Amino acid sequence: MNRCVVGVDLGGTKIYTALADSRGRLAAEVRVPTGAREGPEAVIGRIAETVRRVMREAGVGPGAVAALGIGSPGPLDQAAGVVYNSPNLRGWINVPLRDRLREATGISVFLDNDANLAALGEFYFGAGRGSGNLLYVTVSTGIGAGIIIDGRIYRGAGGGAGEAGHMVISPGGPLCGCGRKGCLESLASGTAMAVRAAELVSAGRGKAILREAGDNPAALTAASVARAAGAGDPEAAGIISEAGAYLGMGLANLINVLNPDRLVMGGGALEAGSLFWDSMAGELAARALGPALGDVTVVKSVLGGKSGLMGAVALALDSCGKRLPKE
């Protein structure tokens, strides 16, 4: 293999690295724990080690890798290659990740945020194939988005585009992690569902949900809510359908503004089951404007946990001038 690239998906808990050929086919892949607590230098050293490992496993020498793409939790400056104060990488403050990784590996490095790259991964290799204007929304502990317009990531003036989780949906609503009130993330994320459950429990209700958390209020999660709903508990079902409806409102707003042809949904909260999805889809259909609704196909991610990695591969291929074949 003489022209290949490396993709790295850097997360708060794991580093996922792969070597791919010029069509994005993976030749070797490896996952290791991030160990973010040990600080940026240790993590950068560990990333470089995974890069050497996939090269070794695929049998390629140092000169054969044309570029390395890496996705990182934000906020970050994509153009400068610097990760700011990332809540998912504790202790990372203004880390020049791109340049440090280039020094550590000797390969040209291209950096972008994880949601943008998940969108790019789905666009080229997943549920977004054949699309031209794609919106990717991930719902897990938080809510993030990646926007692709005319085949390119839309980053905005300062690289901050795609913060769909902080659209205000309910003025005066619950407090969000960003310090403001009523953001989509405070109403529709996995964290939001866990908070609603905790509120019920502290009001002396939500017995079935609490049982799913081992009768420990501190252990309540969105998964406890989903399990209770699956067993037929109406309070749990109420939490899930309300969160799904708020998500549908947010998505309708985005569809009305962006008029995408494809909306790809990812993230662990979709595991909350068909109730969450149906409630989201119902609200979306009720609130999106007819023409925009008619243009969009709503699908689940097909790459799942691989979307960020495949986006990093796509970024590397794109950046070294290997324009990807688009179906």
SS3 assignment for 112-171: EEHHHHHHHHHHHHCCCCCCCCEEEEEECCCEEEEEEECCEECCCCCCCCCCHHHCECCC
Closer by beta carbon to Zn ion, 121 or else 190:
190
Closer by beta carbon to Zn ion, 67 or else 164:
164
Distance from C-alpha of 164 to C-alpha of 160, rounded to nearest angstrom: 10
Closer by beta carbon to Zn ion, 166 or else 196:
166
Judged by CB under 5 A, the chain residues 180 through 199 that form the site for Zn ion are 183
Q: Which stretch binds Zn ion (CB under 5 A): 175-183, 208-216, 252-260, 262-270?
A: 175-183
Closer by beta carbon to Zn ion, 86 or else 307:
86
Torsion angle (degrees, nearest 10) of CA 8, 301, 144, 199:
-120
Q: Which stretch binds Zn ion (CB under 5 A): 143-151, 166-174, 214-222, 289-297?
A: 166-174
Closer by beta carbon to Zn ion, 182 or else 244:
182
Closest CB 70 distance from Zn ion, rounded Å: 26
Secondary structure E strands in 177-258: none
Backbone angles phi, psi at 241, to 5 degrees: -70, -30
CB 146 within 8 A of CB 136: yes
Question: Please, where are the H alpha helices in 59-130?
Answer: 97-105, 114-125
Closest CB 246 distance from Zn ion, rounded Å: 13
CB 276 within 8 A of CB 246: no
Closest CB 185 distance from Zn ion, rounded Å: 5
Angle of the 190-202 helix axis to the 234-258 helix axis, nearest 10: 150
Binding mask 29-68 vs Zn ion (x if CB under 5 A, - otherwise)? ----------------------------------------
Closer by beta carbon to Zn ion, 36 or else 192:
192
Q: Which stretch binds Zn ion (CB under 5 A): 62-70, 82-90, 123-131, 165-173?
A: 165-173
CB 120 within 8 A of CB 126: no
Sole binder of Zn ion in the list 42, 80, 93, 178 (CB under 5 A): 178
Distance from C-alpha of 166 to C-alpha of 170, rounded to nearest angstrom: 11
Distance from C-alpha of 260 to C-alpha of 241, rounded to nearest angstrom: 25
Structure tokens at 206: 């939500």
> Contact between 145 and Zn ion (CB under 5 A)?
no
Closest CB 173 distance from Zn ion, rounded Å: 10
Closest CB 103 distance from Zn ion, rounded Å: 36
Sole binder of Zn ion in the list 166, 262, 306, 322 (CB under 5 A): 166
What does the binding site for Zn ion look like in residue numbers (CB under 5 A)?
166, 176, 178, 183
